[in-house]
């Protein structure tokens, strides 16, 4: 949905504080009433409850990718999830990053980039006829180990905290400047 007048184009997704955890929420760019897509169950269910953070839009604005963190007894289960905007409660996990990460959807294709304690990775996605995404193969480690990776406008490069740039064609990582949480201009 690239029409700037469409509802999905003018929505802002964010993690909204709900006590000591986070709901996944959207609100129109003009403000007004917000819609809770995924309410946190972190506090109400301290054994199996979940919270949702770090949303990022799919290239067609029909889905969000986000990170869920759920209680699993005395530890946590982390998952990169896909949240269909029209059916948010039908969200589903597509990858277990093994811990905290900030997933980002590519701008020109169906792929994710994220960082874990094991490095920075990309994950190619494919959608079935009903629009349900799955990984089209294993996550691929890139030759760049930086946090908060983000895609270039044409998906040919990544940038990450440091500020480092990674070029997929040359597989070269270049240090640019000291800094944190960079993002490419869209």
Residue-wise pLDDT for 77-86, tens only, equals 999 999 999 9
Alpha-carbon distances, residue 150 vs 33, 111, 130 (angstroms)? 30, 12, 28
β-strand pairing of 21-28 with 63-72:
unpaired
In what side-by-side order are the strands of the sheet with 11-18? 11-18, 21-28, 34-38
Residue 22 to residue 50: CA distance in whole angstroms: 9
68 close to 88: Cβ distance less than 8 angstroms: no
Element (H, E) at 11: strand 11-18
185 vs 62: CA distance, rounded Å: 21
Q: How far apart are CA 18 and CA 170, in angstroms?
A: 44
The pLDDT assigned to 1 comes to 40
The CATH class for the domain spanning 11-141 reads mainly beta
pLDDT digits (tens, 9 = 90+) for 93-124: 999 888 888 899 999 999 999 998 888 899 99
3-state secondary structure of 90: helix
The residue whose two tokens read 């948010």 is: 88
Three-state SS at 66: strand
Domain boundaries, given as residue ranges, for the chain: 11-141
Structure tokens at 152: 């270039």
Query: Can you tell me the distance from the alpha carbon of 5 to that of 28, in angstroms, rounded to the nearest whole number?
Result: 12
pLDDT in tens, 140-184: 999 887 888 999 999 999 999 889 999 999 999 999 999 888 888
Of the chain, the end-to-end C-alpha distance in Å amounts to: 16
If you average pLDDT over residues 54-58, what whole number do you get? 95
């Amino acid at each position: 949905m690239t029409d700037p007048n469409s509802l999905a184009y003018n929505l802002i997704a964010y993690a909204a504080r709900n006590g000591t955890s986070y709901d996944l929420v959207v609100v129109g760019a003009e403000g007004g009433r917000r819609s809770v897509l995924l309410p946190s169950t972190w506090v109400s269910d301290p054994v199996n409850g979940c919270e949702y953070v770090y949303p990022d839009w799919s290239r067609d604005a029909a889905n969000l990718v986000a990170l869920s963190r759920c209680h699993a007894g005395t530890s946590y289960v982390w998952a990169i999830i896909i949240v269909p905007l029209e059916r948010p409660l039908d969200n589903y996990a597509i990858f277990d990053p093994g811990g905290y990460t900030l997933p980002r959807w590519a701008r020109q294709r169906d792929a994710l980039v994220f960082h874990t304690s094991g490095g920075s990775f990309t994950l190619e996605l494919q959608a079935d006829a009903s629009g349900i995404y799955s990984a089209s193969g294993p996550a691929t480690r890139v030759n760049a180990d930086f946090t908060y990776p983000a895609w270039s406008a044409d998906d040919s490069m990544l940038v990450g905290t440091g500020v480092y740039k990674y070029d997929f064609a040359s597989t070269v990582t270049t240090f640019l400047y000291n800094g944190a949480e960079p993002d490419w201009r869209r």
